[in-house]
Amino acid sequence: MVGVNPAPFSLRELVTMAHGRQKHDWNLFSSLICVCANPWLDEDSRLTPEEIHPFTAAEKKKQKVIPFDKTIWKAVTGSM
């Protein structure tokens, strides 16, 4: 899947390489879809690669900021 000899690598390294390869392939594929589809679409409904790419949508959902709450910190550590 990655195109390398898996023997010298750990499973974690192989999974990281496979994930990187999938992201690379989707970068190319989503750009190609936009190049092929956009000439046939109206100006208002043009596609961007980010709208098609499944990994960018998942990364945007993951980036959720949790505000810092001092009362929870005091309860956990007993100090501030």
- The pLDDT, as a whole number, for residue 8 is 93
Q: What is the mean pLDDT of residues 60-75?
A: 71
Sign of the four-CA dihedral 54, 47, 49, 64: negative
pLDDT band at 80 (very low <50, low <70, confident <90, very high): low
Torsion of CA 55, 60, 63, 64, to 10 degrees: -140
CA angle, corner 22, sides to 6 and 28, nearest 5? 130
Domain boundaries, the chain: 11-77
Q: Which residues of 15-39 are buried (b: 16+ CB within 10 A; e: fewer)?
A: eebeeeeeeeebeeebeeebeeeee
- The pLDDT, as a whole number, for residue 54 is 84
